[in-house]
Amino acid sequence: GGLAGLSAALSAVEGGASKVTLLEREPKLGGNSGKASYGINAVAETGDSAEAFAEDILAAAGAGDGPGADPELVRALAGGSPEALAWLQTLGVKFEEVVQGAGSRAPRLRKAMGFQLVMALGKKLDEHAKEGRAEVLKGARVTELISSGGAVSGVRYEREGEAHEARGAVAICSGGFSANAQLLPESRASLPLTQGPWTVGEGVQLAAAAGAAVVDMGEVQVHPTAFVDPKNQAAKSVILASESLRQAGAVLVNSEGHRFCDERVDIASAIVAKMGGGQAPDAKPMPTWLVLPPKVAEAEAGHIGFYLSKGLLAKHESVAELAKALNVGAAALEESVGVAADEGPVICGEVAPAVHYSLGGVRVDASARALSAAATPVPGLFVAGEAAGGIHGRNRIAGNGLLESVVFGRLAGRGAAEARVC
């Protein structure tokens, strides 16, 4: 019931399915999509192309040692972005502005909160439910895919203490596995998590049990700027400091008050590496603070109000006052922030790397069909969103998570609607 699931359900209805059932394990819809706070990418309106977008995705995906993304899936993602954006707009989604995010050569990111997209799609699905074309069952946990002869023809699920079956083609949009320490690589299992505790990879495991292959299961994205809560520094569940803060001009400084990266250009994995959050299980990232100069704080007032209320950010009347609080030299901090020592106010909070996104998952093709180990489609089974793997390789560009959910969610929904299952 996140953005991928809602996109799949709506697209299945649009594709002519006689009745669509959306099974949501949690009490409410939204999943991790509802926590997203930056926006969604699409090919820029001028001076850009799907080919250029795909090149940027592939470049980011292969950063460092590790797997790259599947070029076929990347082309589907980039090429499907204009239609995905237009579809969202027909459902009433409005975007605040367009910016150029890290890893992109053009201004592709349409700023929007994830919950806004979820609400818009949920509203439309409710309309279809009133017409009898769809139903949403919350608190429903899928326990098994019904399969025979290598083909999937439905699911078994539990709800309110009772067992049920639902027959038809299946689209798995259950999210990733970031909250499942048994599935995480050893180097990431001890890190805090920005996603919800429901992100345990059940859908991936169910698909594998039904004959689907998995890919890149050793790859998860670590986000460089998750807040360290002063009241609970060892918290396992943490709140993400939105990418928009860095894009607007917030800077990262170390324990000496010096900047150590290009916050607007460096992709997430590059910043994490500079923070010392490497692949070794015992890697210890250096203490890092996110500092917002006055103009940035004003521009991002919508975000920082929430963070301030949670005690994750603190206001300091001047750079000199902040330098004293951090026990760093005022001159170093003045140079890093770009504001005179006696100017302010400045906003600051401690940040650290956290597991943010599962890059691996079920192997799929460019039509969102689940693939077997022999690279042949598993009949009746489609996968979209973070449950699918092979799209991002080793690193996901900010704004492509929501895009992936819409593009491949729509493909999965349309495919399920057209599938003939016994």
Active site residues: 223, 246
Q: Are 416 and 169 in contact (CB under 8 A)?
A: yes
Instruction: Report the greatest alpha carbon distance in the chain.
Output: 73
Location of structure tokens 């998750």: 226
Which among 265, 247, 248, 269 has a CA at the least distance from the CA of 353? Answer: 269
Location of structure tokens 């991928």: 4
Which among 105, 123, 92, 90 has a CA at the least distance from the CA of 41? Answer: 105
Whole-angstrom CA distances from 16 to 60, 61, 89, 418 are 37, 36, 21, 8
Q: What angle do CA 218, 223, 224 make, to 5 degrees?
A: 130
Burial annotation 70-95 (CB, 10 A radius, 16+ → b, else e):
beebbbbbbbbbeebbebbeeeebeb
Q: Where are the alpha helices (DSSP H) in 33-132?
A: 50-61, 71-79, 81-90, 114-130
CA atoms within 13 A on the CB side of 253: 30
CA atoms within 13 A on the CB side of 177: 28
Burial annotation 389-409 (CB, 10 A radius, 16+ → b, else e):
bbbbbbbbbbbbbbbbbbbbb
Q: Are 159 and 141 in contact (CB under 8 A)?
A: yes
SS3 content of the chain, % helix, strand, coil (to 5): 35, 25, 45
Task: Determine the Cα–Cα distance for residues 163 and 170; give it in Å rounded to an integer.
Answer: 18
Sheet holding 151-159, edge to edge: 140-148, 151-159, 162-167
CA atoms within 13 A on the CB side of 274: 18
Task: Name the helix (H) or strand (E) containing 22.
Answer: strand 20-24
